């Protein structure tokens, strides 16, 4: 069993990452923190609470994190995730509340440092909370098995030709995390763009034939329409659960250790993950970059988690 803490910005694919982290048989989800990203942090926090409440994970605590990146204004993404950040369905009235009166990094530090096992920190949004955690509590590095994040690209980006959304939102935070000395795994667009939510996948979910599976299908249909409009993708890529699956089943991935730097300065390429694929850099190799994932097994495990989460 691996102990995981999930830092996210739900977000349709973050919602699926929460379900996978909470229901994968090899993972124990210790808590969820939120940041601004796909929407404001108030909205991503409500969305995390909503998805936990409908998926049999009411016991998992949520702490609200940073409302803005370290040095830049927030950059929400309603064109993909809607005005709520999780558009496409109606959730039951929310009663679950986030942790009160405590900063996210204080809570994360408490939870992670009290574990007897090393904790896997999974980040599926911008890396602001993780960067602050490592800066304010550097001793936490001893307690972390690794940080696995969804973000970046070996080649092209998505929100700019050069940069992927999570890294583009807070490049300075990404730089801190990648240079922290903690074991880092990057699950980039090259991998997540293979986790396509095709009609066959929608049909597999639909055929579960419950009110929970319809809620999930409604969310994914909204996500699909958004991806068609914005990126002209026929089928939307379910980015964030790929990072969760890596922690549970690294055997389903191929990775390569290389130097990765974050461009924090350029006008055209800020947020680019500059991957030294030819191993030319003399700097320390700092990131295990995922280059391939077993997609069939990804969907088998994601759909099994949805089945287990079905308590509506």
Q: Does 168 bind ligand BDR (CB under 6 A)?
A: no
Q: Which is nearer to ligand BDR, 14 or 190 (CB)?
A: 14
Among 4, 5, 7, 13, binds ligand BDR (CB under 6 A): 13
Angle between helices 199-206 and 211-231 (to 10 degrees): 160
Site string (132-151) toward ligand BDR, x via CB under 6 A: ------------------x-
* Minimum distance, C-beta of residue 16 to Ca ion, in the bound complex (Å): 10
Retrieve residue 209's tokens: 């034939």
CA distance 255 to 141: 22
Q: Does 240 bind ligand BDR (CB under 6 A)?
A: yes
Q: Does 166 bind ligand BDR (CB under 6 A)?
A: yes
Determine the length of the chain: 312
Among 5, 149, 165, 212, binds ligand BDR (CB under 6 A): 165
Distances (CA, A) of 193 to 62, 85, 150, 259, 267: 28, 21, 12, 22, 26
CA distance 205 to 302: 10
193 is annotated as an active-site residue: no
Q: Which is nearer to ligand BDR, 38 or 53 (CB)?
A: 38
Instruction: Judge whether 246 and 187 are in contact, CB under 8 Å.
Output: yes
* Minimum distance, C-beta of residue 305 to ligand BDR, in the bound complex (Å): 17
Q: Does 77 bind ligand BDR (CB under 6 A)?
A: yes
Give the sign of the dihedral formed by CA 77, CA 312, CA 218, CA 299: positive
The residues that touch Ca ion, with contacts defined as CB under 5 A, are 9, 11, 14, 124-125, 240
Instruction: Judge whether 264 and 175 are in contact, CB under 8 Å.
Output: yes
Retrieve residue 37's tokens: 């990203």
Instruction: Judge whether 56 and 311 are in contact, CB under 8 Å.
Output: yes
Site string (174-193) toward ligand BDR, x via CB under 6 A: --------------------
Instruction: Judge whether 223 and 88 are in contact, CB under 8 Å.
Output: yes
Retrieve residue 126's tokens: 């911008």
Q: Does 171 bind ligand BDR (CB under 6 A)?
A: no
Retrieve residue 138's tokens: 């550097």
Q: Does 158 bind ligand BDR (CB under 6 A)?
A: yes
Q: Does 38 bind ligand BDR (CB under 6 A)?
A: yes
Name the binder of 17 from Ca ion, ligand BDR, none, CB < 5-8 A by kind.
none
Q: For the segment 258-277, give every residue that binds ligand BDR (CB under 6 A).
A: none
Q: Does 7 bind ligand BDR (CB under 6 A)?
A: no
Q: Does 163 bind ligand BDR (CB under 6 A)?
A: no
Active site residues: 239
């Amino acid at each position: 069993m691996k102990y995981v803490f999930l830092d996210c910005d739900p977000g349709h694919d973050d919602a699926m990452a929460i379900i996978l982290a909470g229901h994968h048989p090899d993972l124990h989800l210790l808590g969820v923190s939120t940041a601004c990203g796909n929407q404001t942090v108030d909205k991503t926090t409500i969305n995390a609470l909503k998805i936990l409440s409908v998926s049999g994970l009411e016991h998992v605590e949520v702490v609200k994190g940073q409302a803005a990146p370290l040095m830049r204004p927030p950059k929400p993404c309603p064109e993909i995730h809607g005005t709520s950040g999780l558009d496409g369905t109606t959730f039951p009235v929310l009663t679950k509340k986030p942790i009160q009166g405590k900063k996210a990094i204080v809570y994360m530090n408490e939870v992670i440092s009290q574990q007897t096992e090393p904790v896997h920190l999974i980040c599926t949004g911008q890396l602001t909370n993780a960067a602050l955690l490592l800066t304010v509590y550097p001793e936490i590095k001893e307690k972390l098995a690794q940080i696995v994040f969804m973000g970046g690209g070996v080649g092209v980006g998505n929100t700019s030709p050069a940069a992927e959304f999570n890294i583009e939102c807070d490049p300075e935070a990404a730089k801190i995390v990648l240079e922290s000395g903690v074991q880092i795994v990057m699950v980039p667009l090259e991998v997540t763009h293979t986790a396509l939510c095709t009609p066959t996948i929608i049909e597999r979910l639909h055929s579960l034939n419950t009110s929970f599976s319809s809620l999930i299908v409604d969310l994914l249909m909204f996500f699909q329409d958004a991806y068609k409009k914005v990126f002209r993708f026929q089928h939307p890529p379910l980015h964030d659960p790929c990072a969760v699956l890596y922690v549970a089943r690294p055997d389903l991935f191929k990775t390569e250790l290389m130097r990765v730097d974050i461009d924090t300065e350029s006008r055209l390429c800020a947020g680019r993950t500059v991957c030294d694929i030819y191993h030319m850099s003399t700097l320390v190799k700092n990131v295990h970059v995922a280059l391939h994932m077993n997609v069939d097994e990804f969907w088998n495990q994601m759909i099994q988690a949805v089945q287990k989460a079905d308590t509506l």
